[in-house]
A = this chain, B = another copy of it.
Amino acid sequence: MKRVVVEKKILERNDESAKKIREILKNKGVFALNFMASPGAGKTTIIEKTIEALKDNYRISYIDGDLDTDRDASRIKKLGIDVVQINTSGACHLDADMVLKALKQVSLDCDILIIENVGNLVCPATFDVGANKNVVILSVPEGDDKVKKYPVMFNVADVVLLNKIDLLKFLDFDVEKVKKELKEINPDADFIEVSAKEGYGLDRWFEYLKNLIANSSLL
């Protein structure tokens, strides 16, 4: 029982820091997205394509959470935007304190702050990092049973991107089942099918994102 108490304390502290992040971002007029997914679901690729599509009209900054490497951050840096790397030294998620520290280094003269969380379909869901919206990516090869198996993550999603739909033709995957189970767990979550590799659905995602930002009270 001790463990639960410890966890509660950590989460309370985290929520305080997340609140501070929200205040900072609100004052700066920055709209923040927190990308979460399993390893290899396509977070970095979708973020790359999103930055490429939007960077002429929006100023974008990027914070990357990774256990140990800066591989993802290096990929994003090539796009010419401001990048800060958080190495969690083995921790399985970003927390608000880590992001708060990163905010001191990253350029906040931006419209959009993209936070790429550690690849993990479980723990990042529990730690609010002060973003305006949570983007959860599920990819087709992971299987169509994941929404109900990882309800905590899908419960905090504002939008679910189903990625790698170019692989639907090779794999036994029921998109309708995923949509149905997502509706049961989180009826407010939006759902967009994409193939980051082949481009399918990305325009819909970009439009969706532009609408989110336009309708937010921040900008």
Interface residues in chain A, defined as those with a beta carbon under 8 Å from any beta carbon in chain B: 3, 6, 10, 38-40, 66-69, 71, 90, 92, 118-123, 126, 139, 141-143, 145-146, 148-152, 164, 167, 170
Contact = CB atoms under 8 A, between A and B. Distances in A.
B39 A149 contact: yes
A39 B146 contact: yes
B92 A122 contact: yes
B38 A149 contact: no
Contact of A120 (B69, B121, B142, B170): B121
List the number of copies, as a whole number: 2
Task: Give the most central of A122, A149, A164: most B CB within 10 Å.
Answer: A122
Nearest to A66: B149
A56 to B, nearest CB: 28
Task: Give the most central of A69, A92, A146: most B CB within 10 Å.
Answer: A92
A149 B148 CA distance: 27
A90 B152 contact: yes
A152 B67 contact: yes
Nearest to A95: B3
A167 B164 contact: no
A217 B88 CA distance: 39
Contacts of A68: 148-149, 151
